Amino acid sequence: MEGTTEMEIEEPKSKKFGLKNSIQTNFGNDYVFQIVPKDDWSSVAVSLSTKAVKLYSPVTGQFQGECKGHSDTINQIAFSVSSSPHLLHSCSSDGTIRAWDTRTFQQVSCIDSGSSQEIFSFSFGGSNDNLLAAGAKSQVLTVSFLNLLVLFWDWRNGKQVACLEESHIEDVTQVHFVPDNRNKLLSASVDGLMCIFNTDGDINDDDDLESVINVGTSIGKVGFFGETYQKLWCLTHIESLSIWDWKDSRNEANFLEARSLASDSWTLDHVDYFVDCHCPGEGDSLWLIGGTNAGALGYFPVNYKGARTIGSPEAIFGGGHAGVVRSVLPMSSMKGGPAQSRGIFGWTGGEDGRLCCWLSDDSTGINRSWISSALVMKSPKARKKKRRNPY
């Protein structure tokens, strides 16, 4: 069944956007966790709290297929390197990292870290691009002891090649190989530490831990930006933001009251949380994406040099979501796509189980929303109101 509603968002400095369409991926207590694009933008993959991944066309919103197999929460998804663009990877609290062929939607490989381990994050890299790193928690139930791990495999044969056990004392929520420095791995944890490792040769805690950055509070999400990827942004579970130079472990800015600063810069409800940071290609520009519990979003420019302020939002998205937004996928980096993609700003997904596509109003597309229940199965569960952490 489809419904049509006129909805708009406004960007004070330039364009206005409209809601092209929205897809109800599921019902009840089911969330959209993450949206990631295929390299050629022919598909976007969407991880759901139903322990499944669904694929859609980013231009039309057409449902393409579903990958199912995980037995616990999916914590991260990512498409493979360009040599195998049809492969989608996913990690889960069931202790596995799985690869899916998105042409058939079938699982083609599975790395199992052990039944007592949870995998929160993964990254491909290394000097020869042969390493798969993962952030994990391993529970030894007999003595109630938590062993927090950074695990490494050679993804070509699935063999585990290293296990770092001494660098973190709480859940390792993020691991990222550094762009342009593929032998360097960043790990980040609930213990408030970010660690940089050299992954050349035999990897161990004693010899390969190069630096430690103490953020001081539980880390939720990190990312690299800048022309040489030397800068690092860090979002915490208390919704603070900090900017770092990872090469010399230097802090460039701290926004401990980021929510208040963002809230003061617009006229809508208080900013309740941050979804992500946006770094549009080259340069050192950074935008902080904040949202309200009612589903509105804003793109707030971050001035981390000099005055250290969070400016008025340069885009405001409202009317698409009815709950917390979990993922934002801009299509500004889409190259050479079909003509229908012109004017599409991107996709968002949230705890209302909805995917929303946002369209520039100078496009020839129709600014309407539609919800198709034919794509999904209804869940009998009651909806929870609380936002929960993805790990």
Query: Tens digits of per-residue pLDDT, 61-79?
Result: 899 999 999 999 999 999 9
Structure-block tokens of residue 319? 């009317």
pLDDT band at 372 (very low <50, low <70, confident <90, very high): very low
| Structure confidence by residue, pLDDT tens digits, 99-154 | 999 999 999 999 998 766 899 999 999 988 899 999 998 655 444 455 668 999 99
pLDDT band at 360 (very low <50, low <70, confident <90, very high): low
What are the start-end ranges of the H helices in the chain? 205-208, 258-263
Strands 344-350 and 354-360: antiparallel
H helix or E strand, kind and range, residue 277: strand 273-278
Residue 387 has pLDDT above 50, yes or no: no
Looking at every residue in the chain, the average pLDDT score rounds to 83
Give the whole-angstrom CA distance, residue 365 versus residue 340.
8
| Structure confidence by residue, pLDDT tens digits, 212-241 | 999 999 999 999 999 899 999 999 999 999
Q: What is the CA radius of gyration of the chain?
A: 20
Read out DSSP for 232-269? EEEEETTS-EEEEETTTTEEEEEETTHHHHHHTTSSSS
Read out DSSP for 114-132? -TTEEEEEEEEESTTS-EE
DSSP 8-state code for residue 271: P
Burial of 140 (0-12, 13-18, 19+ CB in 10 A): exposed
Place of tokens 């936002």: 387
Q: What is the pLDDT of residue 367?
A: 36
Residue 3 has pLDDT above 60, yes or no: no
Q: What is the pLDDT of residue 60?
A: 85
Q: Which residues does 114 contact at the CB level (< 8 Å), separation at least 6?
A: 95, 138
First to last CA, the chain: 34
Give the whole-angstrom CA distance, residue 73 versus residue 326.
15
Most confident of the ranges 140-154, 250-264, 340-354, 355-369: 250-264
Amino acid at 280: P
DSSP 8-state code for residue 193: E
Instruction: Give which of 259, 212, 215 is closest to 234, Cα–Cα.
Output: 215
Residue 9 has pLDDT above 50, yes or no: no
Select the more confidently predicted residue: 390 or 130: 130
Q: What is the pLDDT of residue 146?
A: 56
